[in-house]
Amino acid sequence: MTATPEAPPTIVLVGHGMVGQRFLEALAGRGLTATHRVVVLCEEPRPAYDRVQLTSYFSGRTPEDLSLTDTAFIAEHGIELHVGDPAETVDRAARTVTARSGLVVGYDVLVLATGSYPFVPPVPNKDAEGCFVYRTIEDLLAIEEYARKSTTGAVVGGGLLGLEAAGALKGLGLTSHIVEFAPRLMPVQVDEGGGAALLRTIEEMGLSVHTGVGTQEVVVGEDGAVTGMRLSDGSELATDLVVFSAGVRPRDQLARASGLTVGERGGIAVDEQCRTVADPRVFAIGECALAADGRVYGLVAPGYEQAETAAATIAEDESAFTGADLSTKLKLLGVDVASFGDAHGATDDCLDVVYSDSRAGLYKKLVIGRDGTLLGGILVGDAEAYGTLKAFTGSVPPVPPESLVLPAGAGAPVQLGPSALPDDAIICSCNNVRKGTIREAVTEHRCTTVPEVKKCTKAGTTCGSCVKVLGRLINAELEASGVEVDKGLCACFSQTREELYEIVLALRITSYRDLLDRHGRQDARGGDGCEVCKPTVASIIASLAPTIGAGTHVLDGEQAALQDTNDHFLANLQKNGSYSVVPRIPGGEIAPEKLIVIGEIARDFGLYTKITGGQRIDMFGARVEQLPVIWARLVDAGFESGHAYGKSLRTVKSCVGQTWCRYGVQDSVRMAIDLELRYRGLRSPHKLKSAVSGCQRECAEAQSKDFGVIATAGGWNLYVGGNGGATPRHADLLAQDLSDAELIRLIDRFLMFYIRTADRLERTSVWLDRVPGGLDHVRDVVVHDSLGICDELEALMAAHVAHYRDEWAETINDPEKLARFVSFVNAPDTPDPVVAFVPERDQMKPDLPLLSIGLHPADEILEGSVTR
């Protein structure tokens, strides 16, 4: 008689979201799908998909693109997946789960991954036609369909997902509003300063924001459809579509009904192994679980860790979930928002470094221990340094942490390469992948691309915030192995900046759109480009404008949309949202009448005045709407733009030279003026500084400049590649005892060769150290014409000189250009209330309260925010 084989033990998974899928992968990785029957009950009509990237559906990604699994994985591991058939009851005594279809499944182990549900405030008519939540693909499909017959949409909730929902409505062509009960957007993540930066950026996108008000009632018409919203301040908002995104709650109803223990504020109580405290055969993971530390984790990374812990426990391996890294980076309406480590500064005896620029939409805060340890931080508007900062959290970085986030002029940004990170640095917090693991993927598993490393390690497969650092690590490892890597400028162009320069010059391309469509990567053509290539190409076209026949003003046509913030308003944006006014003072020489004009303007507009190290007078504190009025007076007095805002020539500093100084051997003032007037307005990869000293005593400090000139008895010595600041470099002697004509000719060649071959944002000092052959190669090219291109370099400079026009002089006479100089597009006569001043030393300074930010793991899921 043949014995009946014993049935394998059964694992039932309730819920097939991101965390549920990770649990299945963890089971498969441990071989448990081969020894157990695995049954999945999924409420949604489709298998697991990437909910973090949900909004990308409105950017063209399909539900299939968002999918996290496929039929091959399900079939290979014999998983019984039931979509559209949620669990309705659990009988813990009988150890069975009953689905909506009537299916009854017995279990040996039950895993609840039911996630969370959107909170909808209990306001009248919240379920009316035209009201939606923003949680699933089906929600998005319904919103998309309804939007076709709508004109205006309103989102209740200004948290993470609420901002994404508002962006989606705007993308669907609706006039969009955001209603947030708190006094600022993202109230859990940012403080007043961060909220102001975010608010300004969002309003500039054309969205209307209503903070400090709640929704009292959804107003409906006779047909029962939404026609508006009544707010708590008594005002009414006309809208025909409402999206509720006011927070989430743990989905613990199934657990409650089965007698499992839940927290006072929701969440299925579990221990460190993710077992429910009431039943060791039942586990809970993800947003439905109340962890042993008393928290409901709303981010996907902790959910993944819980999934791994539960799978390990089922496999009888030692594992525990004792908390999680809540570092996260998101892009909301195109705005980066990131947090890492102890961003709230809960650690005793710590210090804050805060940089805030509300007009540019930037807010950066670092929390640093007394011993220099980087504890955490917040980044809003620019999270480029997120990967590096997060990796160094808990240690003392090799450079001051603030140097990684502060802009030029506020702390000299420092770029740390991948080699600076330790092997145990966490690169991907979502999947807990360390740098050493990524290196092994390249060196041992022969991965050569980001997609290959993603597949091998899972790094970068969830939120994607670590992908840039991932790419740099891969390239560093490949280069160390002698493998050639993609040196393309960005994801849009496979060419380097130098190659794009040559393309623009050779083909006389005058439009960024034309360049992208003709020479961009195939998958980027027809797109909008990115924040890397747009200003880079804008600079190339500007530097070549006279030669290729492009508009020579940075605010002409398409060029205006490509510019960085400073160029956009022809002024340097300051920390309180005001702007600086910097007229050109060639060589530092200025007549008394012009000094009086500057004084009168500073007095009349209440500006702070400062004589700079570049021998000119800066005026700080101008509101954006005041800039054209101020510049009209300056231009009338004979001043030109000093280009303090551009990647271009700033100043040519000088001593008084032989005219006044008893040691001077040449007229350094005249030469400085000639050089500054020759190269003014020259757009380049980085800012340019110069100086002319009248003798070897070097009072003008010419050897710390991008190009510096020192007088000798026989003429002029030319030095190149110098740099001051946080990473000083002494300039190198390129040629000596030059006549005036020889000096200018060599500077022409040097500058145009630099502009032609440097990388984006690469200073001459860095470029000189990087180019093969260094100074000797540059000397061969610009002095000895080894490449035969000097005639062309001189012609390019001659075209620039011949076609130079002052940008501000043209702007104040162009009504179309003047229209941009307002604080608020929808209220052009309203001054920016953030810009305020207080007196100091007979002048004024920005009125900036001590800024601090609070972002820390909440021990509950709060209304008005959405965690993921």
Show binding-site residues for [4Fe-4S] cluster: 655, 661, 695, 699
Residue in this structure with the two tokens 């009338």, named with its chain if needed: 636
Q: What share of the chain is helix, strand, coil (3-state, %, to 5)?
A: 35, 20, 45
Please give the Cα distance from 623 to 642 (Å, whole number): 18
Residue in this structure with the two tokens 């733009």, named with its chain if needed: 641
Which residues carry a binding-site annotation for siroheme? 699
Burial 489-525 (b: 16+ CB within 10 A, else e): bbbbbbbebbbbbebbbeeebbbbeebbeebbeeebe
DSSP state of 415: -
DSSP state of 600: H
Q: Are 779 and 753 in contact (CB under 8 A)?
A: no
Q: How many CB atoms sit inside 10 A of residue 805's CB?
A: 10
Residue 534, H or E segment: helix 533-548
Please give the Cα distance from 365 to 350 (Å, whole number): 13
Query: Which amino acid does the sequence have at 430?
Result: C
Burial 821-842 (b: 16+ CB within 10 A, else e): bbbbeeeeeeebebbebeeeee
Quick one: angle between helices 497-507 and 533-548, nearest 10?
30
Please give the Cα distance from 421 to 664 (Å, whole number): 50
Q: Is 78 left (phi over 0), alpha (psi -120 to 50) or beta?
A: left
Residue in this structure with the two tokens 């391309």, named with its chain if needed: 509
Q: Are 363 and 193 in contact (CB under 8 A)?
A: yes
Please give the Cα distance from 366 to 385 (Å, whole number): 11
Q: How many CB atoms sit inside 10 A of residue 370's CB?
A: 10
First and final CA of the chain: distance in angstroms? 56
Reduce the secondary structure of 629-693 to three states and give it as a string: HHHHHHHHCCCCECCCCCCEEEEEEECCHHHCCCCCCCCHHHHHHHHHHHHCCCECCCCEEEEEE
CA distances from 481 to 416, 424, 476, 478, 547 (A): 20, 21, 9, 5, 42
Please give the Cα distance from 342 to 369 (Å, whole number): 11
Q: Look up residue 525 and give its two tokens.
A: 């053509």
Please give the Cα distance from 497 to 487 (Å, whole number): 10
Please give the Cα distance from 603 to 599 (Å, whole number): 6
Torsions phi, psi for 837 (to 5 deg): -140, 160
Q: Look up residue 380 and give its two tokens.
A: 């809003």
Which residues carry a binding-site annotation? 655, 661, 695, 699
Quick one: angle between helices 774-782 and 740-757, nearest 10?
120
Please give the Cα distance from 11 to 768 (Å, whole number): 63
Burial 291-310 (b: 16+ CB within 10 A, else e): bbeebbbbbbbbbbbbbbbb
Residue in this structure with the two tokens 């007088």, named with its chain if needed: 711
Please give the Cα distance from 731 to 655 (Å, whole number): 18
Q: Is residue 145 exposed (0-12), middle (13-18) or buried (19+ Cβ within 10 Å)? A: exposed
